[in-house]
Amino acid sequence: MEPQPAASPATAYRDSAKARRETEASLQKHLDRIGWARVAVALFGVLQVIDFFTMHFLPPWLLAAPVIGLVALTSFYMRVKSRRDGSKRAAEFHEFGLARIEERWHGQGEQGSAYLNDEHLYAADLDLFGRGSLFERICEARTRIGQDTLADWLLAPAMPVGVVARQQAVADLRPRWPLRERLAVLGSRIPTGIDTGLVERWATAATVLPGWGRYAVHGWTVVLAVVLLLASFDLVSWWVFFAVLAGQGLFVVSLFARTSQVLRDIEPRSRDLFELTEIMAVLENEPFAAPLLVDLQRDLKADGVPPSKQLRRLVSLVDLLNARRNQLFFPIALILMWGTRMAYQLEAWRLQHGPVVGRWFRHLGEMEALLSLAGYAFENPHDPFPEIVSDRNVLEGTALGHPLVPHDRCVRNDIHLDEVHLLIVSGSNMSGKSTFLRTVGINTVLALAGATVRAKAMRLSPFAIGATLRIQDSLQAGKSRFFAEITRIQRIVSLASGPLPLLFLLDELLHGTNSHDRRVGAAAILRTLLDRGAFGMITTHDLALSELVQALGSRAANVHFADHLEKGEIVFDYRMRPGIVQHSNAVALMRAVGLPVD
């Protein structure tokens, strides 16, 4: 798939942000005028009250005018304020998009630190999560399920059919930044993200209310209303009314623990539910073209009624439940057993829709993850979709660059793993060896998630990934760095026997042991990996490991990164070249930082 022609995303964001800020400023002026009008009406009302008790110049019925005026102005004020806030959030969406393009995004987005797992075979090594991570760079999901879905895609590769379907969906969504803006305006009202998991757990919980209680609620209400009517006409004693009221109270208390189970998890979720409803409605009505998006949209409506309509019903029930907190309604709510009554209404809703809520949210999460990838693709219009190969194992990249390195500092290199399965990368310190391993790894992650890649072109088959780029010792676990490394390598070697071919990225292989043991161990590890069909790269300062190419034959090749002295300073060009590095810069670097090296 070819990337879309450059359409200056920065210009689109900049112009849109400017327009939204101008709208926000205009609406703020409007709000200020409405505010002064409210003050004037209020002062007029005060003067009327004074006149009513003193001069009697104005007719008494005119006292209603400032009350009606204040109500109308307040309602108008809230509508204008909502529009102003929407313009502000829209401007922030475009400004953050511009910040991403201009490489000013670090620390401003959703970092996904909760998804970091030291046991994962490449997440920490490839900077997938945390500050300045790939997740922070691309995530635009406003719901927790959307963030979870995107994280899952980065943590596990998809099969070729799935990757191609996602590519088509991302290509469809790529130019639809107005859709992303609308969703951002809706979802950004909740900074921590809408937690769909809480709603789903509530909706799928077991039934706790007894069926007979529903009829008892109606029965007690009818009896109480009849007794109240009779007592009002002195046909029965008021003591009868209070006795019935007390019986009703005992009934409510008997069900209190069960009704609390129904209400406590959903009652605070009114705002989340409203935003979910609005987001669902937008996605249900967007005219998609990509087959995956069309299928997701069709499946959302498979029950005949769109999820947004069912969620609006739930929002209405929760709003009605919360009405009992109104001081004026509270006495009536007590008499009507409002909490118990609404608990039965809510339980009926989840009995009907609970089984499909999970499906709604999974589809929502998938759409949000695709929109995140589409946003990244839109902001990088020259990045192509990789070609996914399913008939053989291959990994080829032309002008491959690291997506988290700014464009003006990103040095690109080629990689070709086909007949050659292993590259042994030698080189001096700080020359770019580890960065290139991360470049290959992170672009492979993007490619197999369905995203565009930082390259001129890329072609690959599906791979499981294993890396040792950020191995640490552990004082608490009593593990040395070397033990942590060989434990990780053992897991990677085991992964090579799995259903997917393995891409291994081993940084400074076995550098925590002596040269003899390193050579023996590295030879055995690499031979085992290659015999199991794995592809990969290792880096090393030990040039003895470069000699392993002779033993491994045509399946392996040496490449290197180098440096040179220029006016007495070490200069790196970060270009990968064939062969073994011919010199080291360790002594020069030690001297450069002031160490007393002769």
Instruction: Give the confidence band of 3 by pLDDT, cuts at 50, 70, 90.
Output: very low
Contact 401, 439 (CB under 8 A): yes
pLDDT at 440 over 90: yes
Could you give the CA distance from residue 297 to residue 169 in angstroms, rounded to a whole number?
12
What number is the average pLDDT over the span 164-179? 96
Instruction: Give the confidence band of 12 by pLDDT, cuts at 50, 70, 90.
Output: very high
Q: Tens of pLDDT along 109-139?
A: 899 999 999 899 999 999 999 999 999 999 9
**DSSP code of 268?**
G
Establish if 219 belongs to a structural domain.
yes
Instruction: Give the confidence band of 594 by pLDDT, cuts at 50, 70, 90.
Output: low
Q: Under the phi-then-psi rule, with left for phi > 0, alpha for psi from -120 to 50, and beta for the rest, what region is 234?
A: left
Strand partners, 427: 561
What's phi and psi for 246, nearest 5 deg?
-65, -40
Establish if 111 belongs to a structural domain.
no
Could you give the CA distance from residue 109 to residue 243 in angstroms, rounded to a whole number?
59
Establish if 292 belongs to a structural domain.
yes
Same structural domain for residues 355 and 415? no
Instruction: Give the confidence band of 567 by pLDDT, cuts at 50, 70, 90.
Output: low
**pLDDT at residue number 101:** 93
Same structural domain for residues 409 and 311? no
What number is the average pLDDT over the span 225-251? 87
Last residue of a domain, one of 339, 367, 395: 367
Establish if 170 belongs to a structural domain.
no
What number is the average pLDDT over the span 42-61? 79
* CATH assignment at residue 470: 3.40.50.300
Same structural domain for residues 318 and 414? no
Same structural domain for residues 361 and 403? no
Same structural domain for residues 553 and 582? yes
Nearest CA to 264 out of 303, 222, 318 is that of 318
For the record, the structure tokens of 432 come out as 């770019």
Query: Poorest-confidence range of 188-202, 218-232, 282-296, 523-537?
Result: 188-202
CA within 13 Å, CB half, 104: 7
**DSSP code of 213?**
H
Instruction: Give the confidence band of 214 by pLDDT, cuts at 50, 70, 90.
Output: confident
Q: Tens of pLDDT along 341-383?
A: 999 999 999 999 988 999 999 999 999 999 999 999 999 999 9
Q: Domain count for the chain, please give it.
A: 3
Question: What average pLDDT does the structure give for the chain?
Answer: 88
177 alpha-carbon distance from chain centroid: 17
Could you give the CA distance from residue 85 to residue 24 in angstroms, rounded to a whole number?
7
Could you give the CA distance from residue 149 to residue 166 in angstroms, rounded to a whole number?
13
pLDDT at 1 over 60: no
Establish if 372 belongs to a structural domain.
no
More confident residue, 544 or 31: 31
For the record, the structure tokens of 597 come out as 């090296």
Other Cβ atoms within 10 Å of 495 Cβ, number? 19
Q: Tens of pLDDT along 368-426?
A: 999 999 999 999 999 999 999 988 999 999 999 999 999 889 999 999 999 999 999 98
For the record, the structure tokens of 507 come out as 């940084």
For the record, the structure tokens of 32 come out as 């200020």
3 state SS of 480: coil
More confident residue, 581 or 43: 43
Which residue is associated with the tokens 């990088």?
380
For the record, the structure tokens of 351 come out as 């009995």
Could you give the CA distance from residue 31 to residue 203 in angstroms, rounded to a whole number?
40
Could you give the CA distance from residue 195 to residue 203 in angstroms, rounded to a whole number?
13
**pLDDT at residue number 329:** 80
Could you give the CA distance from residue 120 to residue 135 in angstroms, rounded to a whole number?
16
Nearest CA to 373 out of 128, 158, 173 is that of 173
Same structural domain for residues 414 and 513? yes
Establish if 149 belongs to a structural domain.
no
Could you give the CA distance from residue 444 to residue 463 in angstroms, rounded to a whole number?
8
**pLDDT at residue number 368:** 95
Same structural domain for residues 583 and 530? yes
Establish if 140 belongs to a structural domain.
no
Same structural domain for residues 488 and 583? yes
Crossing angle for the helix pair 211-232 and 338-379, to the nearest 10 degrees: 130
Note the residue count of the chain: 598
**pLDDT at residue number 79:** 92
Same structural domain for residues 413 and 357? no
Last residue of a domain, one of 70, 105, 140: 105
Same structural domain for residues 312 and 437? no
Same structural domain for residues 441 and 361? no
* pLDDT > 90 in the chain, percent: 52
Question: What domain range includes position 269?
Answer: 206-367
**pLDDT at residue number 192:** 55
Establish if 400 belongs to a structural domain.
yes
Same structural domain for residues 393 and 335? no
More confident residue, 330 or 521: 521
pLDDT at 188 over 70: no
Could you give the CA distance from residue 563 to residue 583 in angstroms, rounded to a whole number?
9
Contact 373, 172 (CB under 8 A): no
- For residue 187, CA distances in Å to 70, 181, 222 come to 31, 10, 43
Last residue of a domain, one of 59, 90, 105: 105
